[in-house]
């Protein structure tokens, strides 16, 4: 078991512990997206008024655009060997990174909760214990898998990817027996605001992976091609999400009110009574993969935030288990509180995430690829007195501007900005949230590169393991 349970947390993964190939990102992200919450996300476009034809096109555009941004984050993993949010310290400061981290933790808890609602329904039916017991049981299994760590996460991705892919092919065929595909795709009345809603739903789905995607590529060998990591990540995530979302859009258009509020039972019903138990298991398996990612990412983010103030470089098994248990309890509480108003709440939650994470993505990617040009001082990311400092106020200011700039264009159930109506009701806040902070950060940071090292500086593995001040060495790969 000692070789299975992960030893690393927020520390650098040494070269001698690196393994795998970029293709592992395809299987992981395919499995993470072939699941019921992605189905619901695709259904939301139809539920909120988009025709099936334009829903599918809009969802595809959003998956490709958001997936490309997400895959650019994934390509950082092999180079740095660090969890994604640790690298944010290079932009925001060792302690300043806690600002976006706070929102990241909210995201993980929210996705944990939304996944637990749907998987809890499936598990409750499978075990005949009911939704509440199903949610609690699912949360406990998730926590155990997250505590084991990296290897079990990738194994789950491979198994879920294969099982869920075959199952969705079968369910898709069964759905088309009920639906008239020609009629569904024949209505092509175009509404630009509703089309943008479909794009935004899938883009937000993909962008929300950004704060943790490098957590699952950081064990790849340092010389792994960034291009290969990018394309395999994008391919798996976009293909899995589009597959699930297209199924959801068709199901919502076919079933109408019978789908809303009964998503799990409707999907299972497509397979018939003889396969019901198996389909409930598949739904739970698909959700287990992504919920483990969310729990693991939440644990990493909380530790990253705390360690910025405590100077902590490593984490023992007991502390790791406590952090994961905290994420599980918080997510389960939210799931139990919101399970009866899931669909509307989830749509607004997705759009809120888009508002919070597009500025962070823009700043992180501009800094990594255009300002630092992939050169970071890894030991300094744990030293508030080092080259990155405790707080980097320019990045924090740009982040605040990026958040604020989106509000006039934001359209949610609880808030609609003043510029939404002149645009015909279209929500373009996520485009503003990418463009404004990217341009502003580049303008402010391009002349301030004194903190950028000449080459990537690595932590010596022995020193990192001991929790002492690490030695440095030039990176061996490009």
Give the model confidence (pLDDT) of 140-156 as tens digits: 888 877 777 667 777 87
Backbone φ and ψ of 377, nearest 5°: -95, 100
Is residue 470 within 8 A of residue 459, CB to CB? The reply is yes
Element (H, E) at 208: none
Contact partners, residue 439, CB within 8 Å, separation at least 6: none
* Residue 416 per-residue DSSP state: B
Cα dihedral 49/54/60/65 (nearest 10): -80
Predicted pLDDT of residue 465: 43
Q: Which of 28-32, 159-163, 257-261, 392-396 has the lowest mean pLDDT?
A: 257-261
Secondary element (H or E) of residue 90: helix 89-92
**CA-wise closest residue to 185 among 41, 297, 46, 295:** 46
DSSP 153: H
For the stretch 170-179, pLDDT in tens is: 998 898 888 7
Residue extents of the structural domains in the chain: 15-474
Whole-number Å distance between alpha carbons of 244 and 155? 21
Residues ≥6 apart with Cβ < 8 Å to 182: none
301's enclosing H/E stretch is helix 276-310
Superfamily of domain 15-474: Hydantoin permease (1.10.4160.10)
Query: What's the chain's Rg over C-alpha atoms?
Result: 22
Inter-helix orientation angle 263-271/226-255, to 10°: 90
Paired tokens of 148: 């084991």
Q: Identify which of 47-56, 115-124, 236-245, 249-258 has the greatest average pLDDT.
A: 236-245
- Bridge partners (DSSP) listed for residue 377: 457
Whole-number average pLDDT of the chain: 82
At 400 the three-state DSSP class reads helix
Which residue bears the tokens 């595909």? 181
Do residues 350 and 107 make contact, with C-beta atoms less than 8 angstroms apart? no
pLDDT > 50? residue 98: yes
Q: Name the helix (H) or strand (E) containing 116.
A: helix 98-127
Between CA 34 and CA 244 the distance in angstroms is 6
SS3 assignment, position 353 = helix
Rounded CA gap, 251 and 263, in Å?
9
Query: Helices 36-47 and 276-310, interaxial angle, to 10°?
Result: 100
Instruction: Report the pLDDT averaged over residues 15-43.
Output: 88
- Contact predicate 211/293, CB 8 Å: no
> pLDDT band at 1, cuts 50/70/90?
very low
């Amino acid at each position: 078991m000692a070789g299975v349970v992960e030893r690393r947390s927020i520390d650098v993964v040494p070269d001698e512990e690196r393994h795998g190939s970029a293709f592992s990102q395809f299987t992981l992200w395919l499995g993470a997206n072939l699941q019921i919450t992605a189905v619901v996300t695709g259904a939301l476009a139809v539920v909120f008024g988009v025709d099936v034809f334009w829903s599918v096109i809009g969802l595809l555009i959003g998956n490709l655009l958001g997936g490309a941004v997400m895959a650019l984050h994934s390509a950082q993993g092999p180079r740095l060997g660090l969890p994604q949010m640790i690298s944010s310290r290079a932009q925001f400061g060792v302690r300043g990174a806690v600002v976006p981290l706070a929102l990241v933790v909210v995201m993980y808890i929210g996705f944990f909760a939304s996944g637990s609602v749907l998987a809890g329904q499936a598990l409750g039916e499978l075990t005949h214990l009911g939704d509440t017991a199903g949610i609690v049981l699912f949360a406990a299994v998730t926590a155990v898998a997250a505590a084991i760590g990296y290897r079990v996460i990738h194994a789950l991705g491979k198994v879920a990817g294969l099982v869920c892919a075959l199952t969705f092919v079968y369910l898709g065929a069964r759905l088309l027996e009920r639906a008239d595909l020609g009629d569904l795709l024949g209505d092509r009345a175009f509404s630009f605001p509703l089309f943008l809603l479909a794009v935004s739903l899938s883009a937000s789905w993909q962008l929300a992976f950004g704060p943790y995607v490098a957590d699952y590529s950081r064990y790849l060998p340092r010389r792994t091609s960034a291009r290969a990591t990018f394309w395999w990540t994008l391919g798996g995530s976009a293909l899995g999400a589009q597959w699930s979302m297209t199924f959801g859009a068709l199901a919502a258009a076919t079933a109408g009110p019978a789908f809303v509020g009964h998503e799990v039972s409707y999907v299972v019903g497509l397979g018939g009574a003889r396969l019901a138990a198996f389909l409930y298991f598949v739904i739970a398996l698909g959700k287990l993969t992504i919920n483990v990612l969310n729990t693991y990412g939440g644990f990493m983010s909380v530790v990253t935030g705390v360690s910025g103030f405590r100077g902590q470089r490593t984490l023992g098994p007991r502390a790791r288990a406590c952090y994961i248990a905290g994420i599980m309890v918080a997510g389960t509480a939210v799931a139990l509180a919101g399970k009866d108003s899931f669909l509307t709440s989830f749509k607004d939650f997705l759009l809120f995430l888009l508002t919070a994470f597009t500025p962070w993505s823009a700043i992180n990617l501009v800094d990594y690829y255009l300002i630092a040009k992939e050169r970071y001082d890894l030991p300094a990311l744990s030293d508030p007195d080092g080259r990155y400092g405790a707080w980097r106020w320019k990045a924090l200011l740009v982040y605040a501007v990026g958040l604020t700039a989106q509000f006039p264009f934001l359209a949610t159930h609880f808030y609609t900005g003043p510029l939404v109506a002149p645009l015909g009701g279209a929500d373009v806040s996520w485009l503003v949230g990418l463009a404004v902070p990217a341009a502003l950060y580049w303008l402010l940071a391009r002349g301030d590169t004194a903190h950028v090292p000449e080459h990537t500086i690595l932590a010596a593995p022995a020193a990192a393991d001991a929790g002492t001040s690490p030695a440095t060495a030039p990176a061996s790969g490009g």
